[in-house]
């Protein structure tokens, strides 16, 4: 399932904005208890937000670097980019086989007092990323690669697909955790 119908840069920036807006909307009205609590050893909303910020930051940094630097450190794509659906499927399969966040991507969580500033930071990161995407050509999105700790080497286009879906995945996890909190009270 390779990239027969790739999303354009414009479609990707819209998807990133939409998925992160939905993600953020889950957090804006949370009380301190809802934000900081978790059930069944799942991440709290605070940890979910912290994780997404930690995951988006290096993507923004990578899009800041010149293409030759990316090529020097990570090489160049030797295959076409996967479609959004194929990338999401690969991620779900990795999670199903026990994959999880590691290293600097494991969230420490945030105090409630940092909720608004973290939401603002995420909004700023996504806005910055979308501006940086515009500076890349469609070919660069398919030729330049980045390492992903769980998925291996991804083209820039695939990394953007992942970044959009990742927000959706963690939004749904947060909703599930909030529902579980309600049922346990």
Question: Has residue 91 been placed in a domain?
Answer: yes
Structure tokens at 36: 């900081």
* CATH number of the domain that residue 176 is part of: 1.20.120
Residue 106, domain extent? 42-184
- Tell me the per-residue pLDDT of 120-155, one tens digit each, with 9 for 90 and over: 999 999 999 999 999 999 999 999 999 999 999 999
Residue 69 has pLDDT above 80, yes or no: yes
pLDDT digits (tens, 9 = 90+) for 17-60: 999 999 999 999 999 999 999 888 899 999 999 999 999 999 99
- Are 145 and 75 in contact, with CB atoms under 8 Å apart? yes
Q: 5-29 b/e with 16+ CB inside 10 Å = b?
A: ebbebeebbebbbebbeebbebbee
pLDDT in tens, 73-132: 999 999 999 999 999 999 999 999 999 999 999 998 799 999 999 999 999 999 999 999
Residue 185 has pLDDT above 70, yes or no: no
Sign of CA pseudo-dihedral 94, 35, 37, 46: positive
* pLDDT higher than threshold 60 for residue 159: yes
Q: How many helices (H) and strands (E) does the chain have?
A: 8, 2
**Greatest pairwise CA separation for the chain in angstroms:** 55
Say if 30 falls within a structural domain: no
Residue 81 in any domain: the answer is yes
Within-domain flag for 69: yes
- The reply to whether 54 falls in a domain is yes
**Percent of the chain predicted with pLDDT > 90:** 88
Q: Is residue 74 part of a domain?
A: yes
- Report the number of distinct structural domains present in the chain: 1
Q: Give the integer Cα–Cα distance in Å for 118 and 46.
A: 9
Burial annotation 35-66 (CB, 10 A radius, 16+ → b, else e):
bbbbbeeebbbbbbbbbbbbbbebbbebbeee
């Amino acid at each position: 399932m390779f990239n027969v119908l790739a999303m354009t840069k414009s479609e990707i920036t819209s998807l990133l904005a939409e998925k992160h807006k939905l993600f953020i909307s889950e957090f804006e009205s949370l009380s301190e208890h809802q934000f900081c609590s978790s059930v069944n050893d799942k991440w709290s909303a605070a940890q979910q937000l912290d994780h997404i910020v930690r995951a988006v930051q290096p993507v923004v940094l990578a899009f800041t670097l010149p293409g030759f630097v990316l090529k020097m450190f990570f090489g160049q794509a030797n295959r076409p980019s996967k479609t959004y659906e194929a990338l999401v499927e690969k991620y779900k399969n990795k999670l199903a086989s026990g994959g999880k966040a590691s290293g600097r991507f494991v969230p420490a969580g945030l105090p409630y007092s940092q909720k608004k500033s973290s939401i603002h930071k995420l909004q700023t990161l996504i806005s910055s990323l979308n501006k940086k995407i515009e500076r890349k050509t469609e070919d660069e999105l398919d030729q330049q690669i980045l390492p992903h700790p769980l998925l291996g080497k991804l083209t820039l286009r695939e990394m953007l697909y992942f970044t959009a879906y990742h927000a959706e995945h963690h939004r749904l996890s947060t909703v599930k955790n909030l529902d579980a909190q309600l049922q346990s009270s």
